[in-house]
Chain A
Amino acid sequence: MSFFGFQENNLEEERQRIRDGGSHENEDVAVYTWGEESYDGLGDALQEGGDDFNDETFGGAGNVGKDFDFAGQASLLEPGLTHQKAANHALPSPAQSRLDPSPAHPIEQQSIWDDRSPFSALPRENGGASRFAERGERREPSTSQFSPFPESPVLHQPNASQTGARTLQDIEAEMRAAALQSRGASQRQQNALRIQQEEEQFLQDQAYQRQRLAFQREREQERELQLQALQRLQQQQVMQLREQPQHQRTPPPRMLPVSQSPRFLDQRQMMLLQQQQEEQQHQLRLQQELQEQLRMEELERQLRAQQISQLNQGPTHFNHRRQPSGPTIAELQALQQQQLHRRQRSQSPAYQDFNNIAPQNVQLQQRLLAELAQVEYMRDFQGATQAEQDALRAEAMRKIVEAEKMEDKRRKKAAKIAHMSRYNDLMTQSDKDFITRIQVSQLVTPDPYADDFYAQVYGAILRSRMGLQTQDERVLKFGTGGGISLGNTQKAATRRPNAMQRMEQQVERIVSNARRREEEKGLHSLHSLQGALGKTSGRSYKAAPRQLLQVDDNPSTSPTLAHAHPHISKEDATAWSSEGAAKEAAKLSRETLGNTGNVVRKDPLTHRQVLTTLEALYDLVLKVEHLRREQPQPEEEDASRQWQKEYDDLIELLWEGLKVMVPLETSNPHPFVSLLSPSKGKKLLPRLTRHIGSARMLTLMTLLVACFTQLDVVRQAPLLDVLEETAERAEVERQTQAFLGSVLQSILPIVANLELHVVTALLGLLIDRSQDIAAVAKTKPGLALLTLFLSRVEVIKQAWGTGAEPVDLMTAGAALEQQAVFDQFFVLITPHFLSLFPSSRITLQAHHPTSAALAIDIIDQPVWQFLAALALQAVPEQHQVLVTSLRDKVLENVLSANKGWVADEDERRTKLANVNLFLHALGLDSSQIAL
């Protein structure tokens, strides 16, 4: 304080100055010098209208948040700092922490600590004081005009007990504050000041201090009232912590001792009225701004209020008015009292602004009434509000705890964000672009479709299943075949197709840029990444490792290598190829010779050769399939012709690779049959049939029929007649299934379109080529093939019968021929009818599970089917033979089914169904069989 020249301001000077009539100019100077270093002179501007509740709105009373502390530096200082802050904030008035953000001067801080009254800090706050002054300024004319208090001298009755507790420092502070208050030309308080000045002129030194104390207390009370709306909760909290003596020193208005003189009360009342007037004015300002209509209502109410009993009407009137203005005023402790005051003040200048109708004398009347009731109110209030106060304190506690929690939360959050944002902005945008570029360049592949093959195919299947437009390739292509596979993107099903498209466009742009750059450089794509991760020092990257393996990119096409063991090194390969050149020539001549009848027998393909051939074939098939997907539109003639040529070449290669045209006698098994031996060879066939013409397929099938006995599935079929699970049996089973599912399925459409004479020829070929047709018929594939032929014949014959196809001489001849072949076949097969059944070949043993019996019945089913087809073709004499041969078998089945010699219902039904399959072809039924 001494820094600001207040030390010289002793009491005498102060008094003299006041006596001089309170020259406001001097006091203004004092106002500013009184201020601590924290005073910025902006308080006036800041506290302009409507700011009164800012603190409550923004929670200014709480700890100052660290939201602004983005770097999180403060969190490092956190523990000590916050505690210190908390200490600073807890005991001094919350008003200080609210209005005086800068740390107090040490001495003053000390004084605050000495006097822990919440109000001890108030006088130091220039903002608060100047705010008062500014408020008062605006109100001054009306106040002087309508104030119920004439400029009568007011005698302050000091409270002795309070005087004793004050320190000199406090008193000085209060005096200065009071001087400030008066000097500040607080026109609102002009009356009071004048009163006080007059009073002081009469008072002696002894009384002077007390009077000032009283005034100071009034000011405090007034301030308290003013601040109550904003900070009552905090205040109460502080008060709760405070000891009783302090409480007594700064009693709230309701706690004023009743012994105070009426004049004192009068003045107090006036102060309170001013306070309330201010509040009212504020409210009115708000209302005027927002509710013009309500103002008119107010006018009416004012008129009514003057007519009706004022004491009764007043509180309700104010209750009504104050409802919308928020809780702050409603929570005022001295509610009743204030309401009374307000009732009086309702005719205050604030109202007079727009309510000039109200006569001035009404205010005087009200004031008198209020004065009379004042003492009683004071008395009542002390007891009445105690419980209420407690409740409010509890409420305040709760709110404070809540606020602290929120603050804690916010702090934690801020710290977390600060922690997470540690690495923010470490990378510049160009850094990010750089990394994106590298990532994208990694995605570029020379063959995007193949790299993403399974996803592409799966996506195509999925799309076709969903009935969507088939878009063949979901890849981005760039220039000469480079691109990025986009995988299985379902256009319609994606939730954010736009985002996907944007991403595609973005990637496309980035990649095209990258490629353009690459082209500009004129570098091979392999080198496009050179230096992508930064420059290497020196030229070490150019020192490529010495090449040890020399793999020939364009290996010799000599077919003799097929017979050689594959070698990796180039030296070996060239050696073999040169050696094979001679062989090649010899082989070619031999094959030509073979075509003329002199077949040069060769060793059958080794398993290894089969596998390598198959892999090559699969490569071709993939190429062909890929080519088909890229088939150009028919309009583009050049492209179409080019494509067709490419396609035909590939098909030719495929056909050669299948080795179908290799003479039959070249080897046993025939190379083609060898190719069919692995399951992947069998599975290759269905993929080929789409591309190979039907004429070639017929050739292929003829070869297959001719070499049928050479097939692994036929040769190893007897293994299936064993129930014991062995690896071999499982393998044969697997191969058989693959054959039935792939090979036979692929020739099925061929057979279905065959002419009768071709079928006859094929049947004859099969009979001729297989030394034992019965052996073939005992195998699943053989039986299936025979059934296939027989049913085709039956279909053709039925078509003749219905006249769907014209019967001419040629077909009649074919029919005769067919009958001859069939008769031959029937004769051959007749002795083996019973042994055709796997159930007859398999000897069921005791240790076999019962389910095996059912399984046998199921594998019997194709046999019954075959016999049914046979029966359809057979002439009545052959029927006789059939029935005679199969009589036992049929009876056995029907008997076991009817007599219940079966494990369960399934087996019984299967047995009967099998028998009926055959009997129906003869025009019979199992139910006709009498046992």
Chain B
Amino acid sequence: MDPSSSIQEPFDLIRLSLSERVFVKLRGDRELTGILHAYDGHMNLIMSDVEETIMIVDVVDGAPAGQPATVNVAKRKMDMLFVRGDGVILVSPPSRT
């Protein structure tokens, strides 16, 4: 058995992460971590035990250009989530330390 034989297309890499915890980066400054259960060719994902992290950048009106905008992070958890593929930027295994 050659494990690499299953790697023939990019989606096979995602397949490796099935039933594993993955990190998903979404458009709109959102990130997800959760267990990937299913995906399809549109990168629609079904995930469980998801924690979503939303970056909210508040730019103060009239503030000088140099002043950094404040970034708030909102988090929420969901038991089960369907992620529409058009928002997915990146799917990866969570960083292992």
Contacts and interface: CB of A to CB of B under 8 A. Distances in A.
Interface of A: 551, 555-559, 561-562, 564, 566, 568, 573, 607-609, 611-613, 615-617, 619-620, 653, 656-657, 678-680, 683, 730-731
A678 B20 contact: yes
Contacts of B1: 559, 562, 613, 616-617, 620, 653, 656-657
Contact of A612 (B7, B19, B96): B7
B30 interface: no
16 contacts: A555-B4, A557-B2, A557-B5, A561-B2, A566-B13, A608-B16, A609-B3, A611-B17, A611-B20, A612-B3, A612-B7, A612-B16, A616-B2, A620-B1, A653-B1, A731-B21
B3 A680 contact: no
A621 to B, nearest CB: 12
B81 interface: no
Give the one of B4, B7, B9, B17 with max A CB within 10 A: B4
Given A551-B9, A607-B96, A615-B15, A564 B20 contact: no
B19 A679 contact: yes
Instruction: Give the bracket for the number of chain B residues in contact with chain A.
Output: 20 to 34
Given A562-B4, A568-B8, A656-B1, 19 more contacts: A551-B8, A551-B9, A555-B2, A555-B8, A557-B5, A559-B2, A561-B2, A561-B5, A562-B3, A564-B4, A566-B4, A568-B7, A568-B9, A608-B16, A611-B17, A611-B20, A613-B3, A615-B6, A615-B18
B72 to A, nearest CB: 22
What 8 A-B pairs are tightest by C-beta distance, nearest first? A612-B3, A561-B4, A680-B19, A566-B7, A611-B16, A562-B3, A657-B1, A613-B3
A170 to B, nearest CB: 83
A624 to B, nearest CB: 14
A617 B21 CA distance: 20
A743 to B, nearest CB: 15
Interface string B1-39: 111111111101101111111000000000000000000
A680 B96 CA distance: 18
Contacts of A608: 16
A616 B19 contact: no
Nearest to A565: B4
Contacts of A557: 2, 5
A616 B7 CA distance: 10
Contacts of B4: 555, 561-562, 564, 566, 573, 612
A893 B21 CA distance: 40
A652 to B, nearest CB: 11
Contacts of A680: 18-20
Contact of A616 (B5, B9, B18): B5
Given A551-B8, A612-B7, A556 B2 contact: yes
Contacts of A683: 19
Given A551-B8, A551-B9, A607-B96, A616 B20 contact: no
Contacts of A564: 4
A342 B16 CA distance: 103
Contacts of B3: 561-562, 609, 612-613, 615-616
Give the one of B3, B15, B93 with max A CB within 10 A: B3
Contacts of A731: 21
Interface of B: 1-10, 12-13, 15-21, 49, 93, 96
Contact of A558 (B2, B7, B10, B20): B2
A263 B5 CA distance: 121
Classify the secondary structure of A's interface with B. helix
B16 A615 contact: yes
B66 to A, nearest CB: 37
A196 B41 CA distance: 100
Contacts of A609: 3
Contacts of A573: 4
B20 A555 contact: no
Give the one of A556, A566, A616 with max B CB within 10 A: A566
A564 B13 CA distance: 14
A680 B1 CA distance: 18
B6 A616 contact: yes
Contacts of A613: 1, 3
Nearest to B5: A555
B49 to A, nearest CB: 8
Nearest to A613: B3
Nearest to A683: B19
B79 to A, nearest CB: 13
B91 to A, nearest CB: 14
A466 to B, nearest CB: 26
B35 to A, nearest CB: 8
A481 B5 CA distance: 23
Give the one of B1, B7, B8 with max A CB within 10 A: B1
Nearest to B19: A680
Contacts of B21: 731
A612 B6 contact: yes
A561 B1 CA distance: 10
Contacts of B18: 615, 680
Nearest to B38: A454
A182 to B, nearest CB: 91
Contacts of B8: 551, 555, 568
A566 B2 CA distance: 11
Contacts of B5: 555, 557, 561, 616
Nearest to B20: A678
Contacts of B10: 568
A609 B1 CA distance: 12
Contacts of A620: 1
A561 B5 CA distance: 8
Contacts of B93: 607
A566 B18 CA distance: 17
A609 B3 CA distance: 7
Contacts of A568: 7-10
Contacts of A556: 2
Contacts of B17: 611
A653 to B, nearest CB: 6
A653 B3 CA distance: 12
Contact of A562 (B2, B13, B16, B49): B2
Nearest to B9: A551
Nearest to B94: A727
A573 B7 CA distance: 11
A656 B1 CA distance: 8
Nearest to B21: A731
Contacts of A562: 1-4
Contacts of B2: 555-559, 561-562, 616
Contacts of A657: 1
A730 B17 CA distance: 18
B22 to A, nearest CB: 12
Contacts of A730: 49
Nearest to A620: B1
A557 B96 CA distance: 30
A585 to B, nearest CB: 16
A678 B18 CA distance: 10
B32 to A, nearest CB: 14
A608 B3 CA distance: 10
Contacts of B7: 566, 568, 612
Nearest to B33: A727
